[in-house]
Amino acid sequence: MYLKSIKAYGFKSFADKTEINFGQNINGIVGPNGSGKSNVVDAVRWVLGEQSIKSLRGDSSVDIIFSGSKSRKPLNSASITLVFDNSDRHLPINYTEVSIKRIMYRSGESEFFLNNENCRLKDITNLFADSGVDKESFNIISQGKIDEILSAKADDRRSVFESAAGVLKYKKRKIEALKKLDRTNTNIERINDIISELETNLEPLKRQSEDAQKYLELKEKLKNIEISLMSHDINNYSYEIKITEDKINEINDELTSLSINNSNYDIEIITKKEELIKVENKITENQHQLVELTKNIEKIDANVRILKEREKYTKKTNEVSSNIIKLKEDLLKLNNNIDNLNLIIDNNTKQLSKLEREKNILEKEIEELNKDYNKINNSIQKNNRDLTDLKYKIDYQERTINNNESLPPSIKNILNNPRLKNYHNVIAKLIEVDDKYATCISMSLGNASNYLVVNTPNDAKEMIKYLKDNKLGRATFYPLDTIKPRAIDEQTLNTIKNIKGFINVASNIVKYQKTYENIILNQLGNIIITEDIESANSISKTINNRYKIVTLDGQIVNVGGSITGGSITNKNNLINEKYELDNKKREYQELINSNKKLEQEITNISKTITSKEKELHEITNSIISINNIIKKTNTEKEDNNNNKDNIARELKDLEAINKDKSKGELEKLLNTYYATINNKNDIENSIELLNKEKQSLSETITELETNSKQSNSYINNKEKELNKLNLNINTINIKMDNLLMRLTEEYNMTYESAINNYKLEIDENIAREQVNNIKDNIKRIDNVNIGAIEEYKRVSERYNFLNSQKEDLHNAEQTLMEIINEMDTIMQEKFLKTFEEIRVEFKKVFKELFGGGEAELTLTEPDNILETGIDIKAVPSGKNLKSLSLLSGGEKTFTAISLLFAILNVRPVPFCLLDEVEAALDDANVESFGKYLEKYRDKTQFILITHKKKTMEFADILYGITMQESGVSKLVSVRLEDIKK
């Protein structure tokens, strides 16, 4: 391997692109002072990664970039490329030619390239690590450095030997290992600190976590048993309700039929009583007629007696005549009867058809009324269902509000903590708002509706501490003695008062206690309420957007004129919740009122139905009794007709016998007499019949009244039973509602899902006992911190992780110690071996170069090979020098060169760059130096920067560097012949 060429551009004085091609053996670079020769050495060391700007002879890293000259502008970057011939694969890379390049920009950025591929400096250092070429090694010797090897302290000299011994890479690895060890120890300490801190937290956290775990387990167990018990109870309750409802329906049905019966009784009693009155009236009438007839009979009887007295004298009495008269009397009587009966039949038939018409009408009316009844009853049932639903919602919402469910958790925790008392309430609960203003006040308050009003800032502090200690979030407090009222200035108020749409200042439309005046004015005293967004905009414009304006439907024109609007959700909005609750309560009341009205209607209808049914019943009874009368009268009429026929036949026979008998005055009178007698008899019969009818009617009425009384008392008992059952059903319903509510609230579960997923598998009494026991156990666990479970898991995982890390770090520490020991052993062996070899070679080379004399290398601390310095002893022949410093300049250089060659003998390097190392030598010594160089011709490439002509003679190739153009180095060719002449 050898350095084939150096390509420079922008590096120090090499402002132009310059390429120096070197030969494989001895190369010389010559040129006047300051022409840029040493810059070539700097360039090589720079590419190999030299970072010390001092050793590159600059003050800052960008000093290596061409800084301009009188005629040239500065350049922005510097680049150097070294091209190595690697045909012998000295560098461990599969290329015959290896180029390494470094570029630096004025920004200070530096880039490295290996065979034109971007790479890291480390890649280059690693590639050259074992090659004998590196920026530290003895084969690149800058100007004036050769003597430093002798003048340096014994300790500093060590690095040259280390480089030659090839231990630098081990040293580097050891340093890296030591750094890692240091970092590992720091990490172990840090981890130990964290572990011991975690240990102090872990134990209490463990306890808390166990408590929380136990709490959750108990809760879960409670949930399983309680839900199954609840669903079991609900199931039983609904069964009980069903049974009771069936019973209620049964009783209701019975009561309905009983009340129909009862009304029938009533109707019948009334009918019978009316009939009785009629009969009594008829009796009275008949009695009047009877009196009249009796008078008439007495009158006729007197006349008959007078006539009979007269006939005694005429002796015209005859038995036949008297029989005819008797038969005629009978016939007359029968005709009268038949006429009466016809009259009765006629009247009753007319009455019957009238009643049947009425009956039809009544039946239709009852049917219509029943339809109305069912319709209203359905409405009542629906209302009842709606009422139950609303009641549940109202209870739920009331509980939500009372339990502060909708408030932020922080506020809720304060309000629900009995130990914290020094607060009034949240602002939303301290005001009363009319329904129509609920939305605008809610929007006006915004989040402030949940601000908690306290007496003093100290009260607020106590609660903030509580929230902080328990990590319960944040809350805003309004101390009564601190908060100042805010208002709209009078002038503005006067201006806007008359603008269309202005309603009022928000604080004026809410009610509150005087104590809270400052708080309410602070929040609402400077907010204007308007009808709508148009009036809000116009008022805001008038007052130059100086006050916040809120419309009735909750749109906001903010101070400054921005507008907030859109739909409003009720989430966490206490005022709107209160407003909704009021609405529901109103709805509930309206339903109750509507039900009352409907119930009144239904009562009226049912009364009407009852009375119509009574009427119907009466009519039906009348129809029956009239039919009976007609039938009876017809039978009687038939009997009379038969009698009449018989008498007519008998009369015909007698009249034939008594043809001659003249009809006298007496006969006429007798006819009248008998007719009147007949009439009287009829009326007496009729009175007797009517009295019987009266008697029977009175008995029927008494019987009906007894029945009705009995039925009423039975109905009363049934109604009591019904009330009791209704009470039962209500109690069960309440119990069931309570369970359903708890299911929803405590377990967020519907009955359907509870019954489907939770079955009571143990005896219900045992289950109840278990629920009580678990609840007692839960109460006994104080201050449950559920978060502790996760926290403990997280902390213990971290604790375990850190412990395993600690173990890993201890292992790493052990490994690093082993590596360091290994490195030390290798370095000691290599260093000692190389030192020994160099020592032998140095003695030999010194003698050869000086032509005699003595030289020796010794270790300052042979027992401490890793740190020992190296002493050089050199005594040229014939001299007796005690110290190196007593050597002449040339002797010193020559001794150092001896050491250089000794090292090259022990550890040959591919190339060697020497900047005027021989400057101090006289020609004879330069000659020896040159000859010695030649010995290495085949092993090592030399690049010699020199002013010595003698040295130049040994070079195979010679380059000249000049600075023709002021400030820029140029490469010129030098003819060897000219030198050697």
> Which residues of the chain form contacts with ligand ATP (CB under 6 A)?
12-13, 31, 33-39, 63, 65-67, 143, 967
**485 or 967, CB closer to ligand ATP?**
967
The CB-of-961 to ligand ATP minimum distance in angstroms stands at 6
Q: Which of 919, 941, 918 is nearest to 930 (CA)?
A: 918
Question: What is residue 14's DSSP assignment?
Answer: B
The CB-of-22 to ligand ATP minimum distance in angstroms stands at 17
The CB-of-970 to ligand ATP minimum distance in angstroms stands at 12
**31 or 525, CB closer to ligand ATP?**
31
Q: Which residue has the tokens 């010679």?
A: 958
Between CA 273 and CA 75 the distance in angstroms is 141
Between CA 366 and CA 358 the distance in angstroms is 12
The alpha-helical segments, DSSP class H, found in 152-167 are 154-165
Between CA 268 and CA 455 the distance in angstroms is 79
**35 or 99, CB closer to ligand ATP?**
35
Between CA 953 and CA 927 the distance in angstroms is 9
**12 or 101, CB closer to ligand ATP?**
12
**633 or 951, CB closer to ligand ATP?**
951
**33 or 748, CB closer to ligand ATP?**
33
**37 or 694, CB closer to ligand ATP?**
37
Between CA 654 and CA 658 the distance in angstroms is 6
The CB-of-71 to ligand ATP minimum distance in angstroms stands at 12
**39 or 595, CB closer to ligand ATP?**
39
Contact 327, 647 (CB under 8 A): yes
The alpha-helical segments, DSSP class H, found in 907-968 are 923-935, 949-954
Tokens coding 621: 């009874």
The CB-of-109 to ligand ATP minimum distance in angstroms stands at 17
**12 or 272, CB closer to ligand ATP?**
12
Tokens coding 687: 């009175």
Q: Which residue has the tokens 């760059």?
A: 913
**68 or 457, CB closer to ligand ATP?**
68
Between CA 690 and CA 572 the distance in angstroms is 87
**74 or 473, CB closer to ligand ATP?**
74
Output the 3-class SS for 172-232. Answer: HHHHHHHHHHHHHHHHHHHHHHHHHHHHHHHHHHHHHHHHHHHHHHHHHHHHHHHHHHHHH
Between CA 62 and CA 328 the distance in angstroms is 174
The CB-of-53 to ligand ATP minimum distance in angstroms stands at 12
The CB-of-139 to ligand ATP minimum distance in angstroms stands at 19
Q: Which of 523, 455, 536, 530 is nearest to 487 (CA)?
A: 523
Which residues contact residue 556 at a Cβ distance below 8 angstroms, ignoring those fewer than 6 apart? 443, 548, 549, 550, 563, 564, 565
Which residues contact residue 855 at a Cβ distance below 8 angstroms, ignoring those fewer than 6 apart? 842, 843, 846, 847, 872, 873, 874, 875, 895, 898
Which residues contact residue 312 at a Cβ distance below 8 angstroms, ignoring those fewer than 6 apart? none
Tokens coding 978: 């000219």
**39 or 898, CB closer to ligand ATP?**
39
Torsions phi, psi for 58 (to 5 deg): -140, 175
Looking at residue 256, its amino acid is T
**109 or 489, CB closer to ligand ATP?**
109
Torsion angle, alpha carbons of 726, 730, 732, 736, to 10: 150
The CB-of-880 to ligand ATP minimum distance in angstroms stands at 36
The CB-of-900 to ligand ATP minimum distance in angstroms stands at 20
Contact 841, 855 (CB under 8 A): no
**144 or 560, CB closer to ligand ATP?**
144
CA distances from 377 to 255, 258, 502, 595, 605 (A): 17, 20, 49, 10, 11
Between CA 131 and CA 128 the distance in angstroms is 5
Torsion angle, alpha carbons of 53, 57, 58, 64, to 10: -90
The CB-of-33 to ligand ATP minimum distance in angstroms stands at 3
Q: Which of 804, 797, 805 is nearest to 209 (CA)?
A: 797
**12 or 548, CB closer to ligand ATP?**
12
The CB-of-899 to ligand ATP minimum distance in angstroms stands at 23
**429 or 970, CB closer to ligand ATP?**
970
Q: Which residue has the tokens 């408030």?
A: 407
The CB-of-142 to ligand ATP minimum distance in angstroms stands at 10
